[in-house]
Amino acid sequence: MIEFRRYTLSNGLRVIHNYDPSTVMVAVDVLYNTGARDESRRLTGIAHLFEHLMFGGSVNIPSFDKELENAGGENNAWTSNDFTNFFDIVPAQNIETVMHLESDRMLGLSFNPESLRVQRSVVTEEFKQQCLNRPYGDMMHGLRAALYAPEHPYSWPVIGLEPEHIAKVTDADVREWFYAHYAPNNAVLAISGNLDYERGRELIEKWFGDIPARDIAPRRLPAPGFPTGIVAREMRGAVPYPNVVAAIPMDPYGTPDYRVADCITDILSAGKSSRFYRRLVAGGDGSIIEADASITGSEDPGFVMLTARPLHNTQAALDAARDALMGQLRQLAVPGDVSEYELQRTLNRFESTFELMNADALSKAQNLAMAEMHGEDINDTVPRQRLITTADISRVAARLADTPAVVLYYRPEQ
């Protein structure tokens, strides 16, 4: 049980606080309800670029990193399709430094042209390293483009469609993005560590209470535009082995069948007791050297991704790998195929993973922030998952198996 208190400031900032006197540290997480799904196809990658710009100086503080390092702290950030997250950990006696730093960049950035120039270059180089110069790096570009309608923001990865988009971001674009998405009424602040509730509330009121609420840009997402029939695509790159991916549309986060789909991918690929490992890799005929299953975990309709890496680059080997992946999914759809023992083993693994993910202050702060953003109680996470039955597994597996998939063959260059 994770004990916490929550409240909301008059400007709309939601706060969730876990007091943990067993540590000498305090973690602070600020989660903004904005990500790549707020972009347009005209200018992609700006959400991720903005993550970098948030470290480039704010209204009163020229260097976020320098001030935090002087206080003995560390920080990082991430951007997803749906959210942008900033997190810090610092010795408890220096917690006010973090409050000052995070509140100042929530209040406003310096909008330094030199910072924009530098970060454009950094993100452009990151695009090249991750997508153009890494094996399978551009795979998600092809997969998402085949799954979603062109104007849907899930049809491109978080890093963007092309580096040229980042290169043309202007100071006006940056200002517009900040004031449309970065505000106390569009964020959650979570604290975990050796800071008692009364002192924490005092500091948050002091540093964040006067930041004005802002008008948040409305989010108008088009329909996903998922394929109505099976789609096959081929890509080629400098890779050692082919990769076969079956991407199947699924329900968004927060729906009961989302949790079931998450459980299905665990049954298929979580650990050496999983079906993919026992039946396709270790216990297979040697034609598949790796296999995996995952979900995108998105706020709007996402997809289940089944992946296999065949040993041979022939069409017959690729088709056999595809059939093996889908065959295991269809097997789950057979009523009674999943035993109560197998389900409970999977749910036990889910619970142990959850406990490990909340073992330290920083992890708890991040997970508390996400639960609050979703309007959930973090302590309900495992009980909700344990409501899944074997009948749920067969029902959702049957629906996924009957849903038109995008099959992507990523092959070595010839």
Residue 218 has a pLDDT of: 95
231-412 in CATH: which number?
A: 3.30.830.10
- pLDDT of the residue at 304: 98
Q: What is the pLDDT of residue 394?
A: 98
Residue spans of the domains in the chain: they are 5-208, 231-412
Q: What is the pLDDT along the chain (414 residues), one digit of tens a residue?
A: 999 999 999 999 999 999 999 999 999 999 999 999 999 999 999 999 999 999 999 999 999 999 999 999 999 999 999 999 999 999 999 999 999 999 999 999 999 999 999 999 999 999 999 999 999 999 999 999 999 999 999 999 999 999 999 999 999 999 999 999 999 999 999 999 999 999 999 999 999 999 999 999 999 899 999 999 999 999 999 999 999 999 999 999 999 999 999 999 999 999 999 999 999 999 889 999 999 999 998 999 999 999 999 999 999 999 999 999 999 999 999 999 999 999 999 999 999 999 999 999 999 999 999 999 999 999 999 999 999 999 999 999 999 999 999 999 999 997
Tell me, which fold does domain 5-208 have in CATH?
Cytochrome Bc1 Complex; Chain A, domain 1 (3.30.830)
Give a three-class secondary structure readout of the chain. CCCCEEEECCCCCEEEEEECCCCCEEEEEEEECCCHHHCECCECCHHHHHHHHCCCCECCCCCHHHHHHHCCCEEEEEECCCCEEEEEEEEHHHHHHHHHHHHHHHHCECCCHHHHHHHHHHHHHHHHHHHHCCCCCCHHHHHHHHHCCCCCHHHCCCCCCCHHHHHCCCHHHHHHHHHHHCCHHHEEEEEEECCCHHHHHHHHHHHHCCCCCCCCCCCCCCCCCCCCCCEEEEEEECCCCCEEEEEEEECCCCCHHHHHHHHHHHHHHCCCCCHHHHHHHCCCCCCEEEEEEEECCCCCCEEEEEEEEECCCCHHHHHHHHHHHHHHHHHHCCCCCCCHHHHHHHHHHHHHHHHHHCCCHHHHHHHHHHHHHCCCCHHHHHHHHCCCCHHHHHHHHHHHHCCCCEEEEEEECC
Q: Is the pTM of this model over 0.85?
A: yes
User: Quick one: pLDDT at residue 284?
Assistant: 86
